[in-house]
Amino acid sequence: MRISVAIPTWRRADALARCLEGLERQGRKPDEVIVIVREDDAESRNVVAEHGGTLNVTMATVQEPGLVAALNRGLEAATDGVVAFTDDDTVPRVDWLERIERNFTEDPRLGGLGGRDWLHPPSKEADQVMVGQLRWYGRMVGNHHLGVGPPRPVDLLKGANMSYRLDALNGGRVDGRLRAAEVHTEIDLCLRIRQPGWKIVYDPAVAVDHYPAPRVEDDSRVGPVGATLEHVIHNETYLVLKWQPWLRRLAALVYWFVVGSRTAPGLLLLVERLGRESDRKSMLHRYRATLRGRWAGIRTFMGAR
């Protein structure tokens, strides 16, 4: 089985070097490493050149900014078998590719595979068994950085540690309608795979160490809290409506606007929080940004249809 490792990067040369060193230590070597760089990112280009002697590294260049363009460029560059995505601020553990290959080889219906990204410094949150779920009414559960237990089917993976069988993607790409924050790109890839019946599995043993690095100022995911949240909610809303059947779309709309979550409150959570939150101004600001994002996502969905 051919395995390509794709790493989008943007001006985080030290982190990228550490990631490539982790790939050099793999027991099962990558068949190719695709580093997706911007044309004006000279520091990352230098790091790639330094590691070209020990890894089969290809630089895939993008002109436009953003994660969507980088992911799609990586998918275009990968030619066969499996493409394994990881972030430039991770270090794959030595058996990462070996476990990826084993999972895909043993199950020919496996379309997507993810694993735990161990945060450094460690998270103070408790380990979780429930990981990567999209509830029928639109609520998403992540917890990929906290997952424990045996391999199990999931709905969603996390970009820091996700692999796809190219046959399952069938030439599919990340939707270019996603907004600047470009969070939730994984939803588009995972739900695309699930439509024709491919499996998606989360295996905590397929692990990377994650050292979250600061984003540079002109990264498209950096911006005012309200604007960034609005883009995140837009992407979530649009993609769930895009891939779910009509009854689940309706259930999601009711849940989002009436209940919501701590991150994106609906009316009931807003009322409950205003009764006990000390910073009511901040909560109202978050609620308004959520509403703008929801309506923008609905408009994008209607326009795409």
Per-residue pLDDT tens digits for 50-66: 998 889 999 999 998 88
Query: 114 with 202, same domain?
Result: yes
User: Is 234:179 a contact under the CB 8 Å cutoff?
Assistant: yes
Query: 193 with 235, same domain?
Result: no
Q: What pLDDT, on the 0 to 100 scale, is given for residue 222? A: 45
Average pLDDT, integer, range 249-253: 98
C-alpha triplet 269, 271, 276: angle, nearest 5°: 95
Number of domains in the chain: 2
Average pLDDT, integer, range 110-125: 96
Is 272 domain-assigned? Answer: yes
Query: 31 with 128, same domain?
Result: yes
Query: 229 with 102, same domain?
Result: no
pLDDT higher at 65 or 88: 88
Parallel, antiparallel or unpaired: strands 3-8 and 82-86: parallel
Is 97 domain-assigned? Answer: yes
Average pLDDT, integer, range 17-28: 97
Last residue of a domain, one of 210, 242, 276: 210
C-alpha triplet 153, 195, 9: angle, nearest 5°: 75
Residue 188 sits in a domain of what CATH number?
3.90.550.10
- Where does residue 107 rank: exposed (0-12), middle (13-18), buried (19+ CB within 10 A)? middle
Q: What pLDDT, on the 0 to 100 scale, is given for residue 220? A: 47
Last residue of a domain, one of 183, 210, 237: 210
Question: How far is 32 from 141, CA to CA, in rounded Å?
Answer: 32
DSSP state of 199: E
Of 281, 254, 278, nearest to 266 by C-alpha is: 254
Question: How far is 255 from 41, CA to CA, in rounded Å?
Answer: 43
Per-residue pLDDT tens digits for 209-248: 999 988 765 554 444 456 789 999 999 999 999 999 999 9
User: 277-286 long-range contacts, Cβ below 8 Å, gap at least 24?
Assistant: 285/225, 285/226, 286/226, 286/229
Concatenated DSSP letters of 238-281: HHHHHHS-HHHHHHHHHIIIIIB-SSSB-HHHHHHHHTT-S-HH
Q: Indicate whether 294 pLDDT > 50.
A: yes
Per-residue pLDDT tens digits for 144-169: 999 999 999 999 999 999 999 999 99
Q: What pLDDT, on the 0 to 100 scale, is given for residue 1? A: 93
Q: What pLDDT, on the 0 to 100 scale, is given for residue 97? A: 98
Q: Indicate whether 143 pLDDT > 50.
A: yes
Query: 170 with 64, same domain?
Result: yes
Q: Indicate whether 199 pLDDT > 70.
A: yes
Is 219 domain-assigned? Answer: no
Q: What pLDDT, on the 0 to 100 scale, is given for residue 279? A: 75
Is 298 domain-assigned? Answer: yes
Query: 158 with 238, same domain?
Result: no
Per-residue buried b or exposed e for 19-34, using 16+ beta carbons within 10 Å of the residue's own CB: bbebbeebebbbbbbb
Query: 27 with 143, same domain?
Result: yes
Query: 109 with 185, same domain?
Result: yes
Query: 34 with 85, same domain?
Result: yes
User: What is the extent of the structural domain holding 238?
Assistant: 225-304
